[in-house]
Structure 1
Amino acid sequence: MSTAFPMTRAARPEPLRDSLTMLGRQIRRLRRYPELTVIVVAIPLIFLLLFVFVFGDTLGAGLAAGAGPVGGDRADYANYVMPAILIMTVASVATGTSSTVSMDMTTGITDRFRSMSISPGSVLTGHALGAVVQNVISLVIVLAVGFAVGFRPAAGPLEWLGATALLLGLSLAVAWLSVVGGLLARSVETASNYGLPLVILPFLGSGFVPTDSMPAGLAWFAEYQPFTPIMDTLRSLMLDTDLSAGTAWAAGAWCVGLTLLGYLYSRRVYARPRKA
């Protein structure tokens, strides 16, 4: 006959404390391997330089001819394309997060965490919050380069506050989706490909050209995919142009909905026994 002893206070899981401990683990990893952030930032920076310096004059002139929200030169197009580059930065971090989660799952450290008296969700929360921290660092770098190549926002303090809140909300949503990808992947190599669709989505939205310039079917998809209202809202906030209330609400709803979806599904996957 076995007797069940209640856990002592010291052994009882504390979700907040455990999550902060796991976040500290991810921050130490970022400090130890700064090249991980450099690789993440490289992709959006390459596209920023490519579209501003190679295509900027032509695309800027095309937007002006179509009565777009910018003028017609390279600097104006830099203002237009910057929200897409920021979204692409957030999406690029997702590939690294999925790989990190998959590495923990395949190397046995996750099994060790399961055997410890810690909150199960804290392991996943640490990964998600670590991704948000990496996003903040990456976004600051990309914005600095954007200013260097001609990005000139007209946003005031309130607009910048709104844009920052939206980017943080999107970062958290994408972080939880990338955690799901890492849990589902059977190898680190597979997990590294899970974020690729998110990197491509800005191209299939209003990130680089207005959606009304696209063929009908593609324009419909571009109009209703998650990143388009987020990019439109960021653009309106940063350039201090008219912002549709419906677009702003849609952007916020996508961030909240994707966060809940990723969080709940990742907890469900994490609770299942991992197949060999």
Structure 2
Amino acid sequence: MSTTYAVRDSVTMLRRNLLHWVRYPSLAIMLVAQPILFLLLFVYVFGGTMGAGLPGAPTGADRTDYLEYITPGILIMAVASVALGTAISVAMDMTGGIIARFRTMDIAKVSVLTGHVLGAVLKSLVAVVVTLGFAVLLGYRSDASVGEWLAAFGLIVLLTFALTWLTVGMGLAADSVETASNTPMFLVLLPFISSGFVPTDEMPWGLRHFAENQPFTPMIDSLRALTSGHSPGNDLWLAIGWAVLIAALGYLWSRRLFTKVPAR
């Protein structure tokens, strides 16, 4: 099958995926609302104390300083939340019989999964923009240039691409929609054990070692540097490396499962 047909079929599957979001908005609202709720919780419940305790914080630092510190981590959580929804959508397709039907049709097989991935990228960008908009309403401000913001959004897209392929594999491997909704939960929890909410220097040794060497920490540190107008240094290369590795493994796993695992 030619590349033209593959692109056409992928666009069709993308449109199908986005229509699901429009027709069944409850899941979309829940996934977008989750990072916003965390943003409100941490800023207004913990922000006053945590802002004053940040390393190098000026005298009189408050929840606004903490808002600027945690916003990159909350944006990563928004991406992870949408990725979790992708696992659920894929599992619904696998258990609802539609995948078996697609396999009998004269369409590019890659388009089925590509539609989910492209849809998740667009949904993640919407979630990130909405979450960032709420952060601005709460007082978030940035000294970053247009170029640095473009680099930050490029990193978010790359991370979205990586996490989506990983959760597509989880959705294909799950034996039920309930399993698919639980398996990716660690993606939402990992930002809490990173530099997203407190500096890793403040953690006990074992926890600090884990936090400093897991994928989300260099991603959050890179976003924080870019959105505050600073150079991310080696953190950016670590973040890109982790994202590329996760994307490659997720893609290979998903392709193998889609070919081998029968629809249920």
Provide TM-score, normalisation by structure 2.
0.95
1:19-38 per-residue CA deviation (whole Å, 9 max, x = no partner) reads 11111111111122223221
Q: 2:218 aligns with which of 229, 252, 256?
A: 229
After superposition, where does 1:117-132 map in structure 2 within 5 Å? 117-132=106-121
1:141 aligns with 2:154: no
1:248 aligns with 2:236: yes
TM-fit CA distance, 1:69? 9.7
Within 1, Cα distance between the matches of 2:58 and 2:114?
A: 39
Within 2, Cα distance between the matches of 1:70 and 1:164?
A: 32
TM-fit CA distance, 1:192? 0.8
After superposition, where does 1:1-276 map in structure 2 within 5 Å? 14-63=5-54, 66-67=55-56, 72-244=61-233, 246-274=234-262
User: Residue 205 of structure 2 aligns to which amino acid in structure 1?
Assistant: A
TM-fit CA distance, 1:70? 11
Identical-pair percentage: 51
Please state which structure has a larger fraction of its residues in helix. 2
Is this contact kept in 2: 1:41–1:92, CA < 8 A?
yes
User: Residue 200 of structure 2 aligns to which amino acid in structure 1?
Assistant: T
Within 2, Cα distance between the matches of 1:236 and 1:68?
A: 16
User: Residue 49 of structure 2 aligns to which amino acid in structure 1?
Assistant: T
1:46-72 per-residue CA deviation (whole Å, 9 max, x = no partner) reads 110011011101001111xx3269982
What's the Cα RMSD here? 1.9
TM-fit CA distance, 1:254? 1.3
Is this contact kept in 1: 2:52–2:59, CA < 8 A?
no
Within 2, Cα distance between the matches of 1:70 and 1:87?
A: 29
Within 2, Cα distance between the matches of 1:36 and 1:90?
A: 14
TM-fit CA distance, 1:88? 0.5
Unpaired runs of at least 5, structure 2 = none
Return closer, same or farther for 1:148/1:75 CA change in 2, 3 Å cut-off. same
Within 2, Cα distance between the matches of 1:153 and 1:28?
A: 34
Unpaired runs of at least 5, structure 1 = 1-6
SS at match of 1:117: coil
Provide TM-score, normalisation by structure 1.
0.91
SS at match of 2:182: coil
